[in-house]
Chain A
């Protein structure tokens, strides 16, 4: 049973536009959420996180929104840049570790 779902395996966005990556979860006990970015042949790098007591967290071009009632979070990247092309993993946490989604491959078109 997949507790963290990223339903879009890939997403193509034009450079300069907004990229919105979505993530749904099923376990209401998750209390901390993270986004990681991964380039091919490299380890994931931490991007941004949000605690369940918040509904929004911003860091430069990256904003994460959390809707607890819908068990949904999203990552907004504005404006999208070519270097943002990567696989993005959503992760959720409760006590005993991180549960990752399967990832969304973001492609930024020139």
Chain B
């Protein structure tokens, strides 16, 4: 059974704070992804990584960075949190190239920036 875990379910931060969201998967998947989900906008890809130390920008990378030092762990970093980054953040992983392989999602982190 694939397991993707995220470090926090709920997080409240202040504007300007640096925020770290951690994601860990236990299935030795090469690919990992960070999305945000907002009402009426669906899931939007922020960044993804297909290997350790590799990263690619998704559709909305502005204001975010990522880190992948180990295969099982993918971190999303908000360098200076802003109120428009209040959202549900979802991490996912998949085995091969994202083309034909199912992505498995973590439970999500609901981030509120005040």
Contacts and interface: CB of A to CB of B under 8 A. Distances in A.
Contacts of A8: none
Interface stretch (A14-22, A54-62, A64-72, A96-104): A96-104
A97 B58 contact: yes
Contacts of A32: 99-100
A102 B41 CA distance: 5
A95 B102 contact: no
A46 B102 contact: yes
B48 A93 contact: no
Given A9-B40, A43-B105, A96 B99 contact: yes
A36 B88 CA distance: 16
Contacts of A46: 102-104
Interface string A24-61: 00000001101010000111111001010000000000
B43 A49 contact: no
A49 B42 contact: no
Nearest to B2: A46
B102 A34 contact: yes
B108 A41 contact: yes
A37 to B, nearest CB: 11
Nearest to B43: A100
Contact of A102 (B40, B98, B103): B40
B90 interface: yes
Contacts of A97: 33, 45, 48, 58, 98
Given A89-B43, A96-B99, A44 B33 contact: no
Contact of B108 (A43, A94, A101, A103): A43
Given A89-B43, A97-B48, A100-B43, A43 B107 contact: yes
Contacts of A31: 99-100
A39 B102 CA distance: 18
Nearest to A102: B42
Nearest to B91: A43
Interface of B: 4, 9, 33, 40-45, 48, 58, 88, 90-92, 97-100, 102-108, 110
5 contacts: A34-B102, A46-B102, A46-B103, A89-B43, A97-B58
